[in-house]
């Protein structure tokens, strides 16, 4: 099927806004099985790691007991390989009876009892990507009703084994079917990936009307190469992607792989920082039972999370690509604040980057900056202050920047000394951030 034909057909189909139901005003946060646990169905030899109700109960326990839920990580999301190879006698999807003996409704209750929400996976097509029963066009309503009857709160709808015409009919139809269940269900669409991720093959206005979030690009893997490839693709195409995002409608560069095997501490900070700039879902795929303290500190960084969850919901952009292989990213936030990320694409040693807020298009004025990963506050900045930023190879420096409050500026104006600023340092971070 040619993309052009699909685009023409798209214009002919009228779609009502089916999912403007108030969900996901900020990007979803939680945990998903795929990147870390894939399609491990070997519960005999690998009982702790196989896709089973035990795995999801374990992760729900960790989210509830280790401080994640309070930070906003609330969705526990099942990915592929949860199903039985056959639908039941009524044509409904059913879980594998050996790996999910209690059924999904019971698992949903377990998750809800811990103040969390349950996500599930289905595939628009004849089969899921791993060969389990797909949701063909005639099965969309019954599958939506089944998920709602189980108490599911989030659906990831993949697109293996379907063609673009089926996808064009099926993704909006699922949106309507979820709405018709009467249960508020967050809807994650993999549709864009399957048609190249960019206009004109993808209509991002339509995507925002029918889905809460959508996967634009390939699956993430547990490596820095994969993370930076995704970041480069999103940045190179930001003119098409960045305006599509907003409250209730998010681009999804895929899961956080922080805490697994492939990223250094610097690279893990880079993923967290860039996902915050991109207003990306913060959906971890790792083993919360064995997470290192370093990974936990990065994933639980309150300021990085608050930047990601900023209520204004505007996705950030890459501002600059320097010949030195330093890149600067920027995201406007509420209350006249903003976030800056300095990313090093270098492979040699920490690089000392010189800039100023004026060079980064900030208005003339006085500012303070909070360094998200060191916790240091820098006061007394103006747009012309010479900034020297030391950035580790494949690492970031991330700042939360806000204009100095007029009153504070006035108070410190007369005694323009470092010690004055030092005394004020603890008060300098606005309460809405920490």
Ligand X SMILES: *[C@@H]1O[C@H](CO)[C@@H](O)[C@H](O)[C@H]1NC(C)=O
Strands (DSSP E) found in 5-52? 29-32
C-alpha distance across the termini of the chain, in Å: 51
Residue among 44, 90, 97, 182 that touches ligand X (CB under 6 A) = 182
**Binding to ligand X by residue 10, rule CB under 6 A?**
yes
Measured from the CB atom, the residue of 205 and 411 that comes closer to ligand X is 205
Binding piece for ligand X, criterion CB under 6 A, among 181-189, 228-236, 282-290, 347-355: 181-189
Measured from the CB atom, the residue of 202 and 230 that comes closer to ligand X is 202
Alpha-carbon span 2 to 167, nearest angstrom: 13
Evaluate whether 344 touches 392 at the Cβ level (below 8 Å). Answer: yes
The least distance separating ligand X from the CB of residue 412, rounded to whole angstroms, comes to: 49
Measured from the CB atom, the residue of 20 and 266 that comes closer to ligand X is 20
Assign residue 232 a region (left: φ > 0; alpha: ψ between -120 and 50; beta: otherwise).
alpha
Picking from 242, 252, 277, 228, the residue whose alpha carbon sits closest to that of residue 395 is 228
The least distance separating ligand X from the CB of residue 178, rounded to whole angstroms, comes to: 7
Binding piece for ligand X, criterion CB under 6 A, among 79-87, 123-131, 179-187, 338-346: 179-187
Measured from the CB atom, the residue of 177 and 304 that comes closer to ligand X is 177
Task: Specify whether 158 is catalytic.
Answer: yes
Measured from the CB atom, the residue of 181 and 309 that comes closer to ligand X is 181
Residue among 3, 5, 17, 289 that touches ligand X (CB under 6 A) = 17
The least distance separating ligand X from the CB of residue 211, rounded to whole angstroms, comes to: 12
**Binding to ligand X by residue 151, rule CB under 6 A?**
no
The least distance separating ligand X from the CB of residue 374, rounded to whole angstroms, comes to: 43
Exposed, middle or buried by CB within 10 Å (0-12, 13-18, 19+), for 340?
Answer: buried
What angle, rounded to 10 degrees, do the helices at 164-180 and 140-150 form? 40
Catalytic residue among 96, 123, 153, 158: 158
Contacts to ligand X from residues 202-261, by CB under 6 A: 203, 205-206, 209
Residue among 146, 162, 179, 392 that touches ligand X (CB under 6 A) = 179
The least distance separating ligand X from the CB of residue 140, rounded to whole angstroms, comes to: 15
Measured from the CB atom, the residue of 244 and 339 that comes closer to ligand X is 244
Cis peptide before 352 (omega within 30 of 0): no
Residue among 2, 11, 45, 426 that touches ligand X (CB under 6 A) = 11
Contacts 24+ apart (CB under 8 A), 317-325: 317/235, 317/238, 317/242, 318/235, 318/238, 319/360, 319/361, 320/360, 322/353, 324/351, 324/353, 325/351
Measured from the CB atom, the residue of 15 and 320 that comes closer to ligand X is 15
The least distance separating ligand X from the CB of residue 142, rounded to whole angstroms, comes to: 17
Exposed, middle or buried by CB within 10 Å (0-12, 13-18, 19+), for 104?
Answer: buried
Antiparallel, parallel or unpaired: β 326-332 and 338-344: antiparallel
The least distance separating ligand X from the CB of residue 11, rounded to whole angstroms, comes to: 4
Contacts to ligand X from residues 184-213, by CB under 6 A: 184, 203, 205-206, 209
Antiparallel, parallel or unpaired: β 75-77 and 117-123: parallel
Catalytic residue among 58, 219, 371, 424: 219
Alpha-carbon span 268 to 408, nearest angstrom: 35
Site mask for ligand X (CB under 6 A), range 21-40, x = bound: x-------------------
Q: What distances in angstroms separate CA 35 from CA 6, 65, 259, 283, 287, one per listed residue?
A: 31, 23, 12, 11, 10
Residue nearest to ligand X (CB): 21
The least distance separating ligand X from the CB of residue 203, rounded to whole angstroms, comes to: 4
Its sign, for the CA torsion 253, 256, 146, 149, is: negative
**Binding to ligand X by residue 175, rule CB under 6 A?**
no
Measured from the CB atom, the residue of 179 and 242 that comes closer to ligand X is 179
**Binding to ligand X by residue 20, rule CB under 6 A?**
yes
Measured from the CB atom, the residue of 97 and 182 that comes closer to ligand X is 182
Alpha-carbon span 340 to 401, nearest angstrom: 8
Task: Specify whether 219 is catalytic.
Answer: yes
**Binding to ligand X by residue 135, rule CB under 6 A?**
no
**DSSP collapsed to 3 states, 261-309:** CCCCHHHHHHHHHHHHHCCCCEEECCCCCCCCHHHHHHHCCHHHHHHHC
What are the residues binding ligand X (CB under 6 A)?
A: 10-11, 15, 17-21, 179, 182-184, 203, 205-206, 209
- Show which residues are catalytic: 158, 219
């Amino acid at each position: 099927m040619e993309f052009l034909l699909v685009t023409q057909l798209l214009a002919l189909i009228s779609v009502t806004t089916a999912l403007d139901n108030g969900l996901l005003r900020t990007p979803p946060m939680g945990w998903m099985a795929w990147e870390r646990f894939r399609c491990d169905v070997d519960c005999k030899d690998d009982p702790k790691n196989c896709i089973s109700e035990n795995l999801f109960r374990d992760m729900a326990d960790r989210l509830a007991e280790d401080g994640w839920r309070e930070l906003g990580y609330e969705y526990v999301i099942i990915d592929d390989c949860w199903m039985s190879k056959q639908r039941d006698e009524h044509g409904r999807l059913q879980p594998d009876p050996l790996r999910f003996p209690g059924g999904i409704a019971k698992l949903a209750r377990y998750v809800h009892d811990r103040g969390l929400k349950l996500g599930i996976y289905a595939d628009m097509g004849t089969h899921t990507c791993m060969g389990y029963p797909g949701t063909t066009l005639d099965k969309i309503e019954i599958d939506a009703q089944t998920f709602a009857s189980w108490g599911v709160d989030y659906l990831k709808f993949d697109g293996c084994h379907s063609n673009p015409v089926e996808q064009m009919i099926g993704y909006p139809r699922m949106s309507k079917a979820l709405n018709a269940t009467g249960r508020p269900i967050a809807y994650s669409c993999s549709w864009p990936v399957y048609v190249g991720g960019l206009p004109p093959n993808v209509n991002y206005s339509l995507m925002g009307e029918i889905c809460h979030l959508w996967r634009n690009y390939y699956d993430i893997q547990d490596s820095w190469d994969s993370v930076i490839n995704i970041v480069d693709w999103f940045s190179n195409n930001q003119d098409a992607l960045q305006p599509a995002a907003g409250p209730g409608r998010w681009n999804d560069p895929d899961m956080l792989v922080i805490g697994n095997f492939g990223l250094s501490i610097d690279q893990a900070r880079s993923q967290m920082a860039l996902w915050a700039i991109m207003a990306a879902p913060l959906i971890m795929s790792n083993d919360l039972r064995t997470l290192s303290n370093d990974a936990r500190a990065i994933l639980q960084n309150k300021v990085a999370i608050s930047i990601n969850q900023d209520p204004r919901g505007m996705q950030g952009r890459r501002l600059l690509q320097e010949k030195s292989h330093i890149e600067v990213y920027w995201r406007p936030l509420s209350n006249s604040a903003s976030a800056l990320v300095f990313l090093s694409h270098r492979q040699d040693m920490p690089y000392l980057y010189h800039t100023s807020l004026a060079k980064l298009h900030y208005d003339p004025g006085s500012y303070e900056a909070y360094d998200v990963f060191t916790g240091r506050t820098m006061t007394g900045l103006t747009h012309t202050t010479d900034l020297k930023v030391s950035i580790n190879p494949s690492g970031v420096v991330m700042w939360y920047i806000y204009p100095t409050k007029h009153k504070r500026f006035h108070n410190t104006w007369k005694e323009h000394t470092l010690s004055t600023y030092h005394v004020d340092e603890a008060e300098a971070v606005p309460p809405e951030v920490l």
